[in-house]
Chains A and B, each alone.
Chain A
Amino acid sequence: MNVQKVLVIARHEYRVNLRRPGFLIVTGLVPLLGLAVLLLAALASGPTASALERVFVGRQITGVVDRSGLFTPLLPEYTEVYRLYPDEARGRAALATEEVDRLVLVPSDYLDTGRITVVARSTGLIAVELEEATDLERFFVAHLARDLPDPRLRARLVDPFEPILDTLDRESGPQEGGPLSIVGRFVVPYVLSILLIMTIFVSSGYLLRSVAEEKTNRVIEILLSSVTAQELLAGKVLGLGALGLTQIGVWLLSGFGLSSGAFLLLGLVIPLFTQPTVLLLAAVYYVLGFLMYAVLMASVGALGTDVQEAQQLAGLFSLLAAVPLMLASVFFANPDSALIRVVSWFPLTAPTAMMLRLPMAQVPALDIGGSILSILGTIPLILWLGGKLFRLGLLMYGKRPGVREILRLLREA
């Protein structure tokens, strides 16, 4: 293989696709969305803050009509989100004018019965809300226990425990920090994995488009008189892989710029320090996954008669590779289940499955080794088959070969 020619093709693909409106829009959209969120946050300071917070964060203001006298006056730390009303009529009026989001009526015999009435503007999900109403529960506990002499006991009644997460299968030992730790350890790497998977599909989509266009334009035969099909394929994979990395780079850098480093800290540094192996393995699966899907997409792109048909054909493989994404709930519930292990071992789903699974659980070495081996074993096969289909498909104008014809072509190539 002539490396110089591969690099010429890679440079060409990179430059041409970098200028595509579709690429510019997708690449620019993510930072723009980030910018929009920041602008909204800036606007949200001052008097509009609470209103916006209520809309976007879901922070609710609760009106309280206290006939029991147990909640009057309100403890200072609750005055921002709880408001006292002297009677039910004024409380209901405040609810009607959206001054508050719900109204809690505490009757005079509350201490005996425990019964309260919660009034909302409409029924909606009020029952669910009440089930999840830990804030309201804390409000009640804090006020009922306000006269306890021991402030530590009072604090524990309101906030009984600060969890330290620990599992038998974690190398890294107990993790402090509660929900923030969960964000750092699971959600961020998970989002990062999805981001990487997205770039694989975006880049291999460009590859498919590039091949199909060259075939439609009839420029392919001129190219094949200058380079081999393998050199053309390698150059395209390299150039468009670099394009995918550029896209990630732009997203990360713009995120870093927009949030003064917070995004980068959250997205890279936390997982890097907590789970460096995960990040390293994610990179391995990223490269292997891109290589496999890219060759698949290029071969399929070569078989279609035009861009649309090539995209339809490629949809089958995209769907297969996206199966782990569809199983996201299973990943969260039990990342070591039999189903997840199957998609982790199956070569066409292994890269995406493992990138999702790694941040979720301590994946057994057997599964890591097995999935990498299955991908490594499949790549030469795909390169061989794909290279043949690519070369033959490229020169078949105006008709799409059937399965029988593809098999015949593979035998003869």
Chain B
Amino acid sequence: MPEPVVDVRHLTKSYGDFVAVRDLSFAVHPGEIFGLLGPNGAGKTTTIRILMDIYAADRGQVRVLGEHPSRVRSRVGYLPEERGLYRNLKVMEVLVYLAALKGVPPAQARRQAEHWLAQVKLDGWAERKVKDLSRGMQQQLQFVASLVHDPELLVLDEPFQGLDPVNVERLKAILQELQAAGKTIVLSTHQMGLVEELCNRIVLIHRGTAVLYGPLDEIQHRHAPRRVRIRTSASLPPLSGVARVERRGDTYQVELADGTPQELLRALVLQDVPIHSFEVARVPLNEIFVAVVQGEKPGAAERPETESQEAAP
């Protein structure tokens, strides 16, 4: 197993009496998009600032790209949530300066800046002042500033904030391209739909502690209610391991007492029940997030969305 790009072990950070991060551990693997999630005030920004060596940890170990964070600043790109740029400077001037702080020579910085400005459709704005750009354009410029030095690891705190749907799609595509090129991305956002689309694994922090951690699909599977929706032209025979069955027209809502949906499907096929569709309920991440943070069981409040699985004939 390759060494994690980010390795956080038993991290703790307090401000006075307030514990912002408590015994937090997680790892980010090379080439993945990792979601760092949590409600406001959960400790995400503190964790990110420790990863960026802006804050020092009280306790615990943090390794980034195998080193102490202070030693790898030039190999990491960062888009903070609280962000801005020099409004009175020209776009190219800002990018070349920020790249120079990461050790990139001006000529190379200029070439890379031109490439990334073109990627976000800002190529005609290089010699304009930052204050002349619209808010959305400034957002994209800040994103470019975080990767103009070609970092191995990109830490993005709310990168989609303030972007219109077209630019959200463009940014998603760029992130996927970066991942395909082998870059590792730590993504912090409240937009759970985008996390579901982009992230391989996540950690959900609540009150400074990791409450969910692992591959996203596993987490969603783990939190899915034991509920299956079956559409059939026949009546369902009595089935073992089923707690409750509700019928609405040709659709049955089946709540499992034990066993898995696979075992139920196998039993139906063995009994030669004609199945038109077999859906395992899947809980959206947003619901898991809310439920975990509020201490409720996910799927209890609302009817879950489902993921369709066409049954074998």
Contact = CB atoms under 8 A, between A and B. Distances in A.
Contacts of B73: 225-227
A412 B15 CA distance: 8
Contacts of B86: 16, 214, 217, 219
A224 B83 contact: no
B15 A217 contact: no
B101 A5 contact: yes
B178 interface: no
Contact of B98 (A4, A218, A221, A222): A222
Interface string B151-174: 000000000000000000000000
Interface string B76-89: 10101011111101
Interface in B83-99: 83-87, 89, 97-98
Contacts of B74: 226
Given A225-B76, A226-B102, A228-B70, A218 B83 contact: yes
A221 B101 contact: no
Interface string B252-288: 0000000000000000000000000000000000000
Given A217-B85, A218-B83, A221-B82, A12 B15 contact: no
B21 interface: no
A387 to B, nearest CB: 13
Interface of A is mostly: helix
Contacts of A412: 15-16
A226 B98 contact: yes
B290 interface: no
B100 A222 contact: no
Nearest to A213: B86
Nearest to A397: B82
B100 A8 contact: yes
B145 A222 contact: yes
Contacts of B16: 408, 412
Contacts of A4: 103
A9 interface: yes
B19 interface: no
Interface residues of B, number: 28
Interface string B55-84: 000000000000000100110101010111
Contacts of A12: 97, 100
Contacts of A217: 84-87
B52 interface: yes
Interface residues of A, number: 22
A1 to B, nearest CB: 11
B211 interface: no
Contacts of A226: 73-74, 98, 101-102
B85 A219 contact: yes
Contacts of A222: 78, 80, 83, 85, 98, 142, 145-146
Nearest to B99: A226
A12 B106 CA distance: 13
Contacts of B239: none
B118 interface: no
A37 B142 CA distance: 50
B54 interface: yes
Contacts of A408: 16
A223 interface: yes
A9 B103 CA distance: 12
B76 A8 contact: no
A10 to B, nearest CB: 12
Nearest to A394: B54
A144 interface: no
A221 B70 contact: no
Contact of A227 (B49, B76, B78, B101): B101
Contact of B82 (A8, A218, A223, A227): A218
Given A5-B101, A9-B101, A412-B15, A225 B54 contact: yes
Contact of A16 (B76, B89, B101): B89
A328 B14 CA distance: 50
A4 B74 CA distance: 13
B52 A225 contact: yes
Given A16-B89, A395-B54, A223 B101 contact: yes
Nearest to A5: B101
Interface in A1-40: 4-5, 8-9, 12, 16
Given A226-B73, A226-B102, A219 B52 contact: no
Nearest to A7: B100
Nearest to B146: A222
Nearest to A408: B16
Contacts of B84: 217-219
A301 to B, nearest CB: 16
B286 to A, nearest CB: 28
Contact of A224 (B54, B142, B145): B54
Interface string A200-223: 000000000000001001110111
A227 B73 CA distance: 8
B101 A8 contact: yes
A403 B85 CA distance: 30
A225 B51 CA distance: 9
Nearest to B78: A225
Contacts of B100: 8, 12
Nearest to B103: A4
Interface string A156-177: 0000000000000000000000
Nearest to B82: A218
Contacts of B89: 16
Contacts of B70: 228
A226 B74 CA distance: 7
Contacts of A223: 101
Nearest to B81: A221
Nearest to A223: B101
A408 to B, nearest CB: 6
A152 B266 CA distance: 136
Given A221-B83, A397-B82, 6 more contacts: A217-B84, A217-B85, A226-B98, A227-B73, A408-B16, A412-B16
Interface of B: 15-16, 49, 52-54, 70, 73-74, 76, 78, 80, 82-87, 89, 97-98, 100-103, 142, 145-146
17 contacts: A8-B101, A12-B100, A218-B82, A219-B83, A219-B84, A221-B80, A221-B83, A222-B80, A222-B85, A222-B142, A222-B145, A222-B146, A225-B78, A225-B80, A227-B101, A395-B54, A395-B82
Q: Which 3 A-B pairs have the closest CB atoms?
A: A218-B84, A226-B101, A225-B78
